[in-house]
């Protein structure tokens, strides 16, 4: 199938031929860094506009359509506005923590991009504990949020940050357990291995019922992880007026905002990788000719298509469901999702051992 | 029973909700004492939009003061004006022609539907679902367009005068209302699918903000908020005015007294209003749209009171007249004021999310409270 490996090996060979190894390595760092930042920025712009257009479509209206044809330059306008705004620091705020918080959240979002496979042979760091790495690093963003709430010197922000912290920590468990149920089938945490194991069909089809249950729990739990509606009471506009990022304006707010959208992209990318096959085209068992035709569509189109489908799903949730109250939200996790995921994990282990999957 | 209005214990947080806040429908300032996430006391501070309407009316003639009430509860503008016109007519002893009565009731019921639509959209938005707001406004805009064609305005319609209505119905009125009824019947099931049947909404509203029947009566709560607790207080049934005693409609009562009951009362009231409109729209009698009254009205010396059922509850207009062209004193018994007084009672011990849900189902419009 179409692979970008030829491109990457070409660049690697040229660099090692023309420069000493250390300099070649540094060049590669720079290239990867620039690409990561560019992807980050591009995703941010696209997702912000996508959110507004999806919202408008569900709410029977048009959405931004003045700036540029069909409003495609709206994100650029938003970015310019956010950069130009005055970044106020409130009076009694803890200056160091106040300024540090958005950078921590942003940094976490960027770091988690590393192991994700965007196309065949196209990943930044094919670490052998890929999925564990993602899970671990994304937990660090809770610290950033708590910092933001505390350092703002504002009762509302504090309340919002505490609610958010409790919510994120609880739902990480469900995310972990549903991810584990797929790892049990693949036997490896390496993201490339997981994708390759779906060569004859995606896990959501191969491991029928337990995988579907896992997938549903995964989607619910990551919506809560990323503080999206219906679990967005830390940003509940009608209750606490933006929660932990109430006091942030200008570039710092832009960083929070961007980090939230990148988080959504990342968790959808992980979901697409684990359950829907990542960059692997849609194959059915050993229908050779069908699979061969599917291979003509490049792998990065598969990957981004699946991820954006999941992102659309999560955006759909936001504009359909009302918000859960904080105790109902924690109730849902500890009394319903967690026991169900644990039982599901045991069932999936049984399915894996006995070979009851396709 | 006078309760110890809670002392602030150690560790309590006092926060202000409003006056500028997306969830308080108007400028309502609530001072909440919180212990963690639990509400210990809610104290509303009013007066941010007090415009001394009652005092202003003392220098306006009986034809002029009616239109200050459009600004009181602006979502039931027609009904407010109707109340004032009825009180003045009571004082004058004037008989309203049949056509005027039917037009007035039609406008009232359309206003009631429009008000409940906006309530539904705004309440869903408070609870976090942003989409029903747009669906509600799709219907409300149709009603606003009908009003604009006949009355000339979309919000403060200023259409009622002592004696009848200001100007006759527009020729398109019947067709437009019939089209609206068709549209409404298509869309009303969407409301139930998107909001009422959604389990998250039900969990946010069931068991939240319980108001017992006795408490409702003792706080003076009227309207759908009281009918959700089983108090039968529909002025259209108990003290009928205009032609309400000839119409076939039910008073919607629920017994649970929680937010979900109040929510269901309003949804069913919309259907009842549709029934009333259907009964009237084909049977508008011919005749005058305004009784003959003098140009300058003078009420005889005395006191006159008339109550109507607005979308929020019972509005009472009390005029004290000394025989001149302007009233000596006007007092409005506003439904919102009494409904707000029970807010502390129903939200104690709940969470902030419950406060938002309860406030939404009480359907407060602050200009009505502050006047």
Strands (E), A133-183: none
CB A348, CB A221: distance < 8 Å:
no
Instruction: For chain B, positions 185-224, list CB contacts with chain A under 8 A.
Output: 194-195, 198, 200-201, 203-204
- Going by C-beta distance under 8 Å and a sequence separation of 6 or more, which residues neighbour residue A187? none
* Nearest-neighbour CA in chain A from B199: distance (Å): 9
CB contact under 8 A, A59 and B130: yes
> What interhelical angle do A141-151 and A95-111 show, nearest 10?
160
Nearest neighbour of A238 by CB, restricted to B126, B135, B351 = B126
Instruction: For chain A, positions 213-232, list CB contacts with chain B under 8 A.
Output: 229-230, 232
CB A274, CB A195: distance < 8 Å:
no
- Residues A142-156 have a mean pLDDT of 83
* Nearest-neighbour CA in chain A from B359: distance (Å): 12
Task: Characterize A305-344 residue by residue with b for buried, 16 or more Cβ atoms within 10 angstroms of its Cβ, and e for exposed.
Answer: ebbbebbeebbebbbbbbbbbbebbbebbeeebbebbeeb
CB B225, CB B262: distance < 8 Å:
yes
How crowded is the C-beta side of B80, counted as CA atoms within 13 Å? 28
At A238 the pLDDT is 46
At A9 the pLDDT is 79
Structure tokens at B230: 């089983």
At A236 the pLDDT is 60
What was the ipTM of the complex prediction?
Answer: 0.78
CB contact under 8 A, B15 and A237: no
- Residues A164-174 have a mean pLDDT of 87
Torsion angle of C-alpha atoms A72, A76, A81, A82, degrees rounded to 10: 120
Q: What is the DSSP string of B159-223?
A: -EETTEESSPPPTTHHHHHHHHHHHHHHHHHHHIIIIIT-HHHHHHHTTSS---HHHHHHHT--T
- Going by C-beta distance under 8 Å and a sequence separation of 6 or more, which residues neighbour residue B143? B110, B111, B113, B114, B117, B180
- Going by C-beta distance under 8 Å and a sequence separation of 6 or more, which residues neighbour residue B157? B70, B77, B78, B81, B107, B147, B151
CB B361, CB B259: distance < 8 Å:
yes
At B154 the pLDDT is 87
How crowded is the C-beta side of B67, counted as CA atoms within 13 Å? 13
pLDDT in tens, A91-111: 877 788 888 888 898 889 888
- In the DSSP assignment, the letter for residue B31 is E
At B8 the pLDDT is 63
φ, ψ at B67 (rounded to 5°): -80, -10
- Residues B293-311 have a mean pLDDT of 89
Write the Ramachandran bin of A278: left for phi over 0, alpha for psi from -120 to 50, otherwise beta: left
Coil/strand/helix, residue B42: strand
SS3 helix, strand, coil % of chain A, rounded to 5? 70, 0, 30
Higher pLDDT, B1 or A73: A73
Contacting residues of B for A51, CB less than 8 Å apart: none
Interface mutation vs chain A, best among B15, B34, B125, B127, most A CBs within 10 Å:
B127
Counting beta carbons within 10 angstroms of the beta carbon of residue B114, is it exposed (0 to 12), middle (13 to 18) or buried (19 or more)?
A: buried
Contacting residues of A for B127, CB less than 8 Å apart: 238, 322-323
CB contact under 8 A, A58 and B356: no
**Which of the residue ranges A146-150, B16-20, B32-36, B277-281 would you say has the lowest mean pLDDT?**
B16-20
Q: Residue B193 CB: number of other CB atoms within 10 A?
A: 9
Q: Is some CB atom of chain A closer than 8 A to the CB atom of B128?
A: yes
CB B215, CB B342: distance < 8 Å:
yes
Contacting residues of A for B133, CB less than 8 Å apart: 59
Counting beta carbons within 10 angstroms of the beta carbon of residue B202, is it exposed (0 to 12), middle (13 to 18) or buried (19 or more)?
A: middle
Helices assigned H by DSSP within B12-76: 53-57
At B196 the pLDDT is 83
* Nearest-neighbour CA in chain B from A296: distance (Å): 40
CB contact under 8 A, A319 and B21: no
Contacting residues of B for A239, CB less than 8 Å apart: 23, 352-353, 356
Instruction: For chain B, positions 260-289, list CB contacts with chain A under 8 A.
Output: none
Q: How far is CA B168 from CA A338, B173, B295, in A?
A: 65, 10, 19
CB contact under 8 A, B353 and A156: no
- Residues B271-279 have a mean pLDDT of 90
Q: How far, rounded to the nearest angstrom, does the alpha carbon of residue B173 sit from its chain's CA centroid?
A: 24
Q: Is some CB atom of chain B closer than 8 A to the CB atom of A57?
A: no
Instruction: For chain A, positions 81-140, list CB contacts with chain B under 8 A.
Output: none
* Nearest-neighbour CA in chain A from B180: distance (Å): 19
Size of interface A-B (CB pairs under 8 A): 75
Gap between the Cα atoms of B363 and B240, Å rounded:
23
CB contact under 8 A, B128 and A230: yes
pLDDT in tens, A284-330: 877 788 878 877 888 888 899 999 999 999 999 888 888 888 788 88
Which residues sit opposite B329 in a β-bridge? B320
Contacting residues of A for B196, CB less than 8 Å apart: none
Write the Ramachandran bin of B18: left for phi over 0, alpha for psi from -120 to 50, otherwise beta: left
Q: Is the pLDDT of residue B334 over 80?
A: yes
At B4 the pLDDT is 45
- Residues A162-190 have a mean pLDDT of 88
* Nearest-neighbour CA in chain A from B23: distance (Å): 5
Q: Is the pLDDT of residue A343 over 90?
A: yes
Coil/strand/helix, residue A280: coil
At A319 the pLDDT is 87
Determine the straight-line distance between the first and last CA of chain B, rounded to whole angstroms.
29
Gap between the Cα atoms of B106 and B273, Å rounded:
9
Contacting residues of B for A230, CB less than 8 Å apart: 128, 200
Gap between the Cα atoms of B137 and A54, Å rounded:
19
Token pair 């602030």 is at which residue? B8
φ, ψ at B195 (rounded to 5°): -115, -60
- Residues B30-55 have a mean pLDDT of 86
% chain B with pLDDT above 70: 96
Nearest neighbour of A59 by CB, restricted to B131, B351, B353 = B131
Interface mutation vs chain A, best among B14, B353, B358, most A CBs within 10 Å:
B353
pLDDT in tens, A107-125: 898 888 888 888 887 788 8
At A310 the pLDDT is 93
Highest average pLDDT, of A58-72, A230-244, B326-340, comes from B326-340
% chain B with pLDDT above 90: 22
Kindly indicate the confidence band of residue B1, based on its pLDDT and cuts at 50, 70 and 90.
very low
Higher pLDDT, A242 or B143: B143
Gap between the Cα atoms of B312 and A172, Å rounded:
45
* Nearest-neighbour CA in chain B from A220: distance (Å): 14
> Across chain A, what does the average pLDDT equal?
84
At B2 the pLDDT is 41
CB contact under 8 A, A325 and B129: no
* Nearest-neighbour CA in chain A from B194: distance (Å): 8
CB contact under 8 A, A328 and B203: yes
- Residues A339-344 have a mean pLDDT of 93
pLDDT in tens, B209-260: 888 899 999 999 998 999 989 888 888 888 888 888 888 888 889 888 888 9
Kindly indicate the confidence band of residue B3, based on its pLDDT and cuts at 50, 70 and 90.
very low
- Domain coordinates in residue numbering, chain B: 50-370
CB A133, CB A114: distance < 8 Å:
yes
CB contact under 8 A, B124 and A326: no
Write the Ramachandran bin of A125: left for phi over 0, alpha for psi from -120 to 50, otherwise beta: beta
- Residues B359-371 have a mean pLDDT of 87
CB contact under 8 A, B134 and A321: no
Q: Is the pLDDT of residue B24 over 70?
A: no
CB contact under 8 A, A321 and B15: no
Contacting residues of A for B138, CB less than 8 Å apart: 60
- Residues B152-159 have a mean pLDDT of 86
Closest CA to B366 of B12, B20, B2: B20
At B144 the pLDDT is 92
**Which of the residue ranges B18-22, B99-103, B105-109 would you say has the lowest mean pLDDT?**
B18-22
Structure tokens at A95: 């200056």
Q: Is the pLDDT of residue A18 over 50?
A: yes
Sign (positive/negative) of CA torsion B110, B112, B115, B119?
A: negative
Q: How far, rounded to the nearest angstrom, does the alpha carbon of residue B201 sit from its chain's CA centroid?
A: 23
**Which chain B residue has its CA at the smallest distance from A321's CA?**
B129
- In the DSSP assignment, the letter for residue B300 is P
At B116 the pLDDT is 92
At A346 the pLDDT is 93
Q: Is some CB atom of chain B closer than 8 A to the CB atom of A233?
A: yes
Q: Is the pLDDT of residue B87 over 50?
A: yes
CB contact under 8 A, A326 and B353: yes
Nearest neighbour of B134 by CB, restricted to A60, A238, A324 = A60
Kindly indicate the confidence band of residue B37, based on its pLDDT and cuts at 50, 70 and 90.
confident
Q: Is the pLDDT of residue B25 over 80?
A: no
Instruction: For chain B, positions 81-110, list CB contacts with chain A under 8 A.
Output: none
Nearest neighbour of B128 by CB, restricted to A61, A236, A326 = A236
Gap between the Cα atoms of A53 and B321, Å rounded:
59
Contacting residues of B for A60, CB less than 8 Å apart: 134-135, 138
Coil/strand/helix, residue B66: helix
- Residues A40-65 have a mean pLDDT of 87
* Nearest-neighbour CA in chain B from A272: distance (Å): 27
> Across chain B, what does the average pLDDT equal?
87
Contacting residues of A for B13, CB less than 8 Å apart: 155
CB B297, CB B61: distance < 8 Å:
yes
Fold of B50-370: Cytochrome-c3 Hydrogenase; chain B (1.10.645)
Contacting residues of A for B354, CB less than 8 Å apart: 325
Structure tokens at B82: 């109707």
* Nearest-neighbour CA in chain B from A323: distance (Å): 5
Instruction: Say whether pTM exceeds 0.90.
Output: no
- In the DSSP assignment, the letter for residue B251 is P
Q: Is some CB atom of chain B closer than 8 A to the CB atom of A331?
A: no
- Residues B160-189 have a mean pLDDT of 89
Q: Is the pLDDT of residue A154 over 80?
A: no
């Amino acid at each position: 199938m179409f692979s970008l490996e030829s491109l990457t090996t070409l660049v690697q060979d040229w660099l090692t031929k023309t420069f000493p190894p250390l300099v070649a390595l540094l060049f590669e760092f720079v290239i990867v860094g620039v690409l990561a930042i560019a992807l980050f920025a591009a995703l941010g712009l696209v997702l912000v506009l996508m959110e507004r257009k999806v919202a408008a479509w569900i709410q029977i209206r048009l959405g931004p359509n003045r700036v540029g044809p069909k409003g495609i330059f709206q994100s650029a306008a938003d970015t310019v506005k956010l950069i130009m705004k005055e970044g106020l620091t409130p009076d009694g705020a803890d200056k160091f923590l106040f300024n540090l918080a958005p950078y921590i959240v942003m940094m976490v979002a960027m770091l988690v991009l590393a192991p994700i496979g965007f196309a065949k042979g196209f990943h930044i760091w094919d670490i052998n504990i890929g999925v564990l790495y993602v899970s671990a690093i994304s937990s660090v963003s809770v610290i950033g949020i708590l910092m933001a709430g505390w350092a703002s010197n504002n009762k509302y922000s504090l309340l919002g940050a505490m609610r958010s912290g409790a919510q994120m920590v609880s739902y990480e468990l469900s995310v972990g357990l549903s991810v584990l149920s797929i790892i049990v089938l693949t036997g490896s945490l390496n993201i490339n291995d997981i994708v390759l194991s779906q060569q004859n069909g995606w896990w959501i089809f191969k491991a029928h019922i337990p995988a579907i249950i896992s997938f549903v729990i995964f989607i619910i739990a990551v919506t809560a992880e990323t503080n999206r509606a219906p679990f967005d009471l830390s940003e509940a506009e009608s209750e606490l007026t933006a929660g932990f990022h109430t006091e942030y304006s200008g570039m710092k707010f832009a960083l929070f905002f961007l980090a939230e959208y990148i988080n959504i992209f990342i968790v959808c990318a992980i979901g697409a990788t684990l359950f829907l096959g990542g960059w692997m085209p849609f194959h059915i068992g050993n229908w050779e000719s069908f699979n061969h035709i599917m291979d003509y569509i490049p792998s990065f189109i598969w990957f981004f298509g699946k991820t954006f489908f999941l992102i659309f799903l999560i955006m759909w949730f936001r504009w359909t469901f009302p918000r859960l109250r904080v105790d109902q939200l924690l109730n849902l996790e500890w009394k319903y999702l967690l026991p169900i995921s644990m039982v599901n994990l045991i069932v999936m282990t049984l399915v894996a051992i006995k070979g009851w999957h396709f | 029973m006078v309760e110890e209005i809670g002392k602030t214990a150690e560790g309590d947080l006092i926060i202000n909700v409003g006056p500028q806040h997306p969830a308080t429908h108007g400028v309502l300032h609530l001072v909440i004492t919180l212990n963690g996430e639990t509400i210990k006391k809610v104290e509303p501070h009013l007066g941010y939009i007090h415009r001394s309407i009652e005092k202003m009316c003392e220098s306006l003639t009986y034809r002029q003061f009616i239109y200050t009430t459009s600004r009181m509860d602006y979502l039931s503008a027609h009904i407010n004006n109707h109340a004032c016109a009825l009180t003045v007519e009571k004082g004058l002893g004037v008989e309203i022609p049949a056509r005027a009565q039917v037009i007035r009731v039609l406008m009232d019921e359309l206003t009631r539907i429009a008000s409940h639509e906006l309530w539904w959209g705004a309440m869903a938005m408070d609870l976090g679902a942003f989409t029903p707001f747009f669906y509600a406004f799709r219907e409300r805009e149709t009603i606003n367009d009908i009003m604009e064609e006949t009355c000339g305005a979309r919000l403060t319609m200023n259409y009622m005068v002592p004696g009848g209505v200001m100007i006759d119905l527009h020729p398109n009125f019947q067709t437009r209302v019939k089209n609206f009824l068709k549209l409404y019947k298509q869309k009303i099931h969407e409301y139930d699918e998107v909001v009422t049947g959604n389990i998250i909404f039900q969990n946010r509203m069931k068991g939240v903000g319980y108001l017992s029947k006795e408490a409702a009566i003792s706080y003076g709560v009227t309207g759908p908020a009281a009918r959700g607790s089983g108090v039968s207080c529909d002025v259209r049934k108990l003290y009928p005015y205009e032609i309400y005693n000839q119409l076939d409609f039910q008073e919607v009562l629920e017994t649970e007294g929680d937010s979900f009951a109040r929510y269901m009362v309003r949804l069913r009231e919309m259907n009842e209003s549709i029934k009333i409109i259907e009964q009237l729209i084909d049977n508008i009698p011919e005749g005058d749209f305004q009784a003959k009254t003098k140009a300058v009205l003078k009420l005889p010396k005395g006191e006159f009171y008339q109550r109507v059922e607005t979308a929020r509850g019972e509005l009472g207009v009390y005029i004290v007249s000394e025989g001149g062209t302007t009233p000596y004193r006007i007092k409005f018994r506003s439904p919102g004021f009494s409904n707000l007084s029970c807010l502390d009672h129903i939200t104690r011990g709940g969470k902030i999310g419950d406060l938002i849900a309860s406030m939404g189902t009480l359907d407060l419009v602050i200009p009505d409270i502050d006047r």
